[in-house]
């Protein structure tokens, strides 16, 4: 190491130490008050330097704050209004809740539960539409000409018979149905089936009827729904997704089960104006027909 540099470092450190001790004594200890005024004067010097310290205090006594006590009779925190919006509870207070079917959510048990209104819609009929005309019988022409063949056609809905009907002629002047072709088919069991083709302007198609059973349109589904509070109000629908509205509620057909004769309908309405729209789904079935009991059935024999 360079001894000359070490010497200067030692001298510098010594001078800094002496300067620090001197400043501490002059400023903090008051070694020479005539030369340097101390930072913190003595008690006597304070009274002289700050005259306000010797004056009498002004103002009144500061009132004491009352201490909290469990016996003051003070009311506890008020319970929130559970039937109003925006209610809240602290983290350490549990509440009793219950499921509200009208709102599809849990609500406080003390809240007034809004009863779920009736669904309001009933299923009257579902299935493939049945063609009303059937072939009752046919008579071979005496002339041997198929144009002279006569048919007896029945409307099974209104129980009307149309007699002596012929090909290429309307069955009735007021009914837009005309027989256009006739044939006899042999079935696998050996029996025959008389098939008559009708040109029906009301359905806009050619329809083949026979003398065995009514014809169903397998490509079409008829759904008849009615309001439970007014059965005369009805809706005829045909497929999934069909919609209708009634008394502020929107209804949508969600599913059709032709085997069990049921229709699933979704209802969307506003049970509570504060909560907005809610949706409920119900599967409707055709009500079972209750036959009245026979008046003589329950009478005991005399």
Identify whether 240 is part of a domain.
yes
Identify whether 115 is part of a domain.
no
User: How would you list the strands of the sheet with 243-246, edge to edge?
Assistant: 243-246, 249-257, 262-272, 276-285
pLDDT in tens, 66-116: 666 655 555 555 555 544 555 555 555 667 777 777 667 777 776 666 677
- How far apart (Å, rounded) are the C-alpha atoms in residues 76 and 55? 48
**Is residue 143 helix, strand or coil?**
coil
Averaged pLDDT, 51-61: 71
User: How would you list the strands of the sheet with 234-237, edge to edge?
Assistant: 121-127, 222-227, 234-237
- Tell whether the model's pLDDT for residue 21 goes beyond 80: no
State which of 183, 210, 237 marks the end of a domain.
Answer: 210
Identify whether 159 is part of a domain.
yes
Judgement on whether residues 262 and 199 belong to the same structural domain of the protein: no
Q: How many domains in the chain?
A: 3
Both structure tokens of 243? 């919609």
Which residue segment(s) compose the domain that 249 sits in? 121-126+220-285
Judgement on whether residues 252 and 182 belong to the same structural domain of the protein: no
Identify whether 203 is part of a domain.
yes
Contact 196, 165 (CB under 8 A): no
- 243: how many CB neighbours lie within 10 A of its CB? 12
Mean pLDDT of the chain: 79
Identify whether 108 is part of a domain.
no
Judgement on whether residues 255 and 205 belong to the same structural domain of the protein: no
Identify whether 82 is part of a domain.
no
Identify whether 80 is part of a domain.
no
Strands (E), 28-176: 97-100, 105-108, 121-127, 133-139, 150-155, 160-165
pLDDT in tens, 175-229: 999 999 999 988 888 888 999 999 999 888 999 999 888 988 888 899 999 999 9
State which of 15, 31, 49 marks the end of a domain.
Answer: 49
Give residue 35's pLDDT.
59
> CA of 103: how far to CAs of 47, 94, 109, 119, 170, in Å?
79, 22, 14, 14, 59
State which of 188, 210, 232 marks the end of a domain.
Answer: 210
Judgement on whether residues 135 and 202 belong to the same structural domain of the protein: yes
Identify whether 178 is part of a domain.
yes
Judgement on whether residues 185 and 249 belong to the same structural domain of the protein: no
């Amino acid at each position: 190491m360079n001894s000359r540099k070490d010497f200067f470092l030692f001298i510098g450190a010594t001078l800094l130490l002496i300067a620090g001790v001197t400043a501490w004594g002059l400023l903090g200890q008051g070694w020479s008050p005539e030369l340097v005024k101390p930072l913190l004067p003595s008690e006597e010097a304070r009274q002289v330097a700050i005259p306000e310290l010797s004056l009498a205090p002004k103002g009144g006594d500061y009132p004491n704050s009352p201490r909290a006590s469990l016996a003051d009779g003070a009311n506890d925190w008020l319970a929130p209004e559970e039937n109003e919006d925006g209610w809240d509870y602290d983290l350490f207070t549990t509440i009793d809740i219950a499921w509200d079917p009208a709102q599809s959510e849990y609500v406080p048990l003390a809240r007034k539960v809004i009863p779920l209104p009736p669904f309001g819609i009933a299923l009257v009929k579902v299935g493939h539409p049945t063609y009303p005309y059937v072939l009752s019988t046919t008579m071979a022409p005496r002339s041997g000409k198929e144009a002279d063949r006569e048919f007896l056609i029945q409307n099974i809905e209104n129980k009307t018979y149309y007699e002596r009907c012929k090909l290429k002629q309307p069955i009735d002047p007021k009914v837009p149905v005309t027989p256009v072709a006739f044939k006899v088919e042999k079935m696998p069991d050996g029996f025959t089936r008389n098939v008559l083709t009708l040109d029906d302007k009301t359905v806009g198609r050619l329809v083949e009827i026979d003398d065995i059973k009514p014809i169903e349109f397998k490509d079409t589904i008829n759904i008849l729904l009615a309001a439970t509070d007014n059965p005369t109000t009805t809706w005829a629908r045909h497929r999934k997704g069909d919609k209708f509205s009634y008394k502020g509620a929107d209804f949508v057909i969600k599913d059709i089960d032709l085997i069990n004769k049921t229709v699933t309908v979704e209802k969307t309405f506003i049970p509570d104006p504060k909560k907005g729209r809610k949706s409920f789904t119900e599967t409707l079935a055709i009500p079972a027909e209750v036959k009245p009991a026979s008046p003589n059935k329950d009478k005991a024999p005399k």
